[in-house]
Amino acid sequence: MGFLIANTIGILLPAISSEFDLTPIQQGMLSSAPFWANVGLMIVIALWVSRYAPKILTLVTVVLGGAFILVQAWAQGFFGIFVGRLLFGVTMIAREPARSLLIRQWLPQKEVNHAGGISNLFFGIIVSGGVFLLPMLLNHFNGNWRNVMITFAFIFFGLAIVWAIFGKENPLAEQEAKEKDSEFQIIVRIFRYKDVWFAGIGFLGVVMSFASFNSFLPTLFADSYDISLGKSGLIVGLYILPGGFSGVIVGLFCKSSKSRSFILMLSGIVITITYGAMTLVDSYNWLILLAL
C-alpha cells in the first residue's frame, strides 16, 4: 500500500495543482518527496530500525504512514503536503528491514527469489488496481482529493489492526543470531561488490523514469491529448500490472547470474523505448498497446 500512495499522486495532481496553483517544479517536488527520503535516509534509517522486532516495526510504520497521509489531506498549502509525503516516505523506508527479516525468518534461502517475485506480483496488482480505480474514487468524491487521501489513511489504519491481530514472527535460532555480523559490517561488505553498484544505478534510472511517468503522464494526457483521468489510469495500470507477473516468472526460471543480467539489460532497453514512445504518441489505442 505504501508504494500505491507514493506512485498514484499523478492522478490527484491536477486537482491538487488546481487548488493551490502549483508550478511544475512544485508538482515534481510533491511527486518525488517519498523518494527523496529513500535516497537520502535509506542506510541511516535501516541501521537504526533494524534492531527492533519486525512485527512491532511494521505496525508502528503502518500507523505512522496513515497519520502522515492525514497530514497531506488536511494540509493548507504546498509545504504541508510536501512534508507529509516526505515523512510518509520515511515510514516506507523504515518498514523495509522488517519485510526483509520476515522473509528470512519464514523462508529458506533458496526460496527468497520466489518471495521477491511474489512481492513484485502483489506490487503490480495493488498499484495498477489502485491507479485504475483512483479516478473512479476521485469522481465519487466529486473531485475532492482530500477525501481520497482520508480514505487511504483509514485503509492504512485498518491494515494496522489486521496486522496487530494476525501478524506473526518466526524468530531465528539463537545460535544464528549470535553469529550474525553487525549491520554496518554487512553494508560495508555489500558495497565492495561492483555488481551492487551497477544494479543500484540501473534501478535508480528505472525508479526515476517510473516515478516521473506516474506523476506527469495523467497531466500530459489531459492537457495535450484530451485523455481523461480514467483512461490515463487504465494506461498507467496496464504498464504496471505485467511487471508484477513477470517478476514471478523471472524468480522461477532465471536462476543463473547470466540470465538475470540479460533480463536486467533487456528490461532497461524495453523501458527506454516504450517510455520514449509514450511521450510522442497521441493515439489512445497505441498508448494502450505500448503500456502492455
3-state secondary structure of 144: coil
Judge whether 54 and 9 are in contact, CB under 8 Å. no
Judge whether 291 and 227 are in contact, CB under 8 Å. no
Judge whether 123 and 231 are in contact, CB under 8 Å. no
Q: Is the pLDDT of residue 72 over 80?
A: yes
Predicted confidence (pLDDT) per residue in 82-107, tens digit:
999 999 998 988 888 888 788 777 77
* Residue-range domain boundaries for the chain: 2-291
279: confidence class by pLDDT, cuts 50, 70, 90? confident
Predicted confidence (pLDDT) per residue in 201-232, tens digit:
777 777 777 777 878 888 888 888 888 888 88
Neighbours of 176 (CB within 10 A): 10
Predicted confidence (pLDDT) per residue in 2-23, tens digit:
778 887 888 899 899 989 999 9
Cell of 120: 513484485
Q: Which residue has the cell 479516478?
A: 135
Q: What's the average model confidence in pLDDT over 277-283?
A: 84
Question: What phi-psi label fits residue 108: left (phi over 0), alpha (psi between -120 and 50 degrees) or beta?
Answer: beta
Distance CA 227, CA 144 (A): 20
Distance CA 284, CA 290 (A): 10
Distance CA 176, CA 250 (A): 30
Q: Is the pLDDT of residue 178 over 50?
A: no
Distance CA 267, CA 21 (A): 37
